[in-house]
Structure 1
Amino acid sequence: MSGKDLGPPNLRFMKCEKWWRKHQPFLDNSGYRLRRKFDPSWKPPWKTNYEMFQSEERALHSSPYIMDATRIRDGRQVMLKRVSKSRFPLEVELSVFISSPPLSEDPNNHCVPIYDVLQSPYDPDFEILVMPRLRQFYSPSFDKFWMYVTSALRQIDRDVTILNIMLDASELHPKGFHPVKPRRNATFTGSAKHITRTEYWPRYFIIDFGMSRRCVPPEIPYEPVSNCGNRYVPEYIGSKEGDRCNPFPTDIFCLGSMLEQDFLHKHPPLQFLVPLVDDMIQKEPSLRPTISEVVHRFAVLCNSVTGYRFRKLVIPGNNAFFQRGRQLRHIVTLHPPLPISKFPVSPAINHYLRPFYTLTPSAALLDTMQRSSEGTN
């Protein structure tokens, strides 16, 4: 038996794939077409396991809750996400809220748009969010550190995990890319060709609002501690079931920790951000800056560094010769290296709102608030 003849194919659908395969007729009638593999009438064309292993049908999404699709009416590439109402009761509501006017009309809103919400006809616990097809923000790779900073850190006021920062790469890949293996082309026959961010500056988005909550000043938020993906949060260490805290300082800590681990430790030229990050990961929650203070200080720090310092630095691993060649081409074709020359320095938060974003009520204060509330009822 040769290396390319590994016996008869034996494709077994995963449980998550069966869920989407069952929903294929419903999704098709709703205007969203899945890949051919999920058509209930589809039969594998392979004759050997080798052929199966080389096919795109073997590729699986990293999460069982997402699926790629094509919007039938205009051919737009979209992503579907099934959301459990019992596990994440507010995710759909909040996702639609921040994706609707007037919030959606704000150019500073980088939350992923929601095109549609579908109710599963087979499982009342699940709704399906329809969103644009995005990819991880660091792919394709960056040419210059300045691009690395401006793309990722300008969005820091929206989430705390690097995996939830995505980019719309539709213009970077004029001929498309594969939804499961984005380094492959749309037909899964080779590498996905792309242009650089200098030639087209993409838009970045934040995804995943399953753990989000909507808080309104001036009442200080007081939420149960939860798993934010960072086990080193000081206020979570030693916490017991039922313990609560103000979630905003926790978000700042997780964000600062992410910047420290994924940016500062890996890219020494970003050390000018160390003072800001050190303040964000302070042990005492009330001493951490608010998100508006983070954005303000970040803009000031970036504006203090010359653009030349960033432009001359190549991301490690990139071929410097070809990178310099692309730079020369961009100069000749008059492509500016950045869409902006300076970061806008937004005003810091009003001082009277600072307790809302930084303080956790003490047990004594909560007891007083509770007695006051009972006395007015």
Structure 2
Amino acid sequence: MPDAAPATHTEEYLGRYESALVQVFGRPQLVLEHGDGAWVWDVDGRRYLDLVGGLAVNALGHNHPALVAAVSKQAGQLVHVSNFYTSVPQVELAERILRVADAPVGSAVFFCNSGAEAIEAAVKLARRTGRTGIVAAEGAFHGRTTGALALTHKPAYREPFEPLLPGVVHVPWGDVAALEAAVGPDTSAVVLEPIQGEGGVVPAAPDFLRAARRVTAEAGALLVLDEIQTGVGRTGSWFAFQQAGVIPDAMTLAKGLGGGIPIGALVTFGPEVSGMLTAGQHGSTFGGNPLACAAGLAVLDTIESEGLLAHVRSAGEHLERRIDGLDDPRVTGIRGSGLLRAVTLAGDWAPAVAAHGREAGLILNPVAPDAVRLAPPLVVTTDQLDLFVDALPGLLDLATEETPR
């Protein structure tokens, strides 16, 4: 009998992973070792084009010199101090966020460590109105901590942990009449994503966001926009709300803000909202630590200095033209904005497309059975996007052979 094929490094580490980690993510698809720009390599030396970007986290790609330098420099100076004190990076990052958000005087930033934590802070902010009702949307994903999970819509995520935070109702996405009917005198906040990321990269119509702004103002409730996935240049503007012409009362940030270093933020707009949380009413041991804030500053500096907002817009438009130009009946369209996109398919082929893509050296995300999500680093080139578009028909050939329409 022939000798058994030797185990790869990937198999070795996956076995160790399954023995050592809580299995909330299932079996990982790859064991990645290093990256450069939009490329990553696994422990067996295979190269992949990363078109998911750590789920919209790696805004500058992998191993960007500006981010590496900023984190290295800060690590040699000051990694952490308690929030009895502040640091230069914390102050400067808060100021920079308010500037790029065009926030009015009296606006403020609370730093935390993740998007879910930013949503938890927003829930507490909303409770300071003296009301308990929150309106979210069907298809929404706002996180997996218990407060954020109450706002998340997917039953499979929610049901094992019910009862959750009471008073949350979900309205159909984009339904202005349903939104108007749901917002009333007990509503503390309406919480919406400008583009539902986990829901399939489904943009909100500007009219829906404008209606949310109107009805919350009329009801004395807060409008909270979840920009955890859409913020920090992902859609071609600093924040997606800027494209809709709507100013929220608060927004949540995370993902791309640190370029891979964990950080989250709640941004409050104007002195009235900013004054609703006072000393001792919220906090975070690690929130706003100097290392994470130095990373955030490097991300914002680089987006500005490298003109990445304009690049995101042009690269996203290029991708849209290329997808539309395929003229393949199996591809029904592309939705989203900038470099947060979903390529929609005529059948439930997305998981198979992603699996075959991985074998071909492409990291893709089947965000829905019939949609492939792309959230590549903001530095991805049009040539790299073309690699995916050129490969897509062949991936669909393989997927449709084994997956029923």
> Could you state the TM-score of these two structures normalised by the residue count of structure 2?
0.21
Choose between structure 1 and 2: higher helix proportion.
2
Tell which structure's C-alpha radius of gyration is larger: 1
Choose between structure 1 and 2: higher strand proportion.
2
> Could you state the TM-score of these two structures normalised by the residue count of structure 1?
0.23
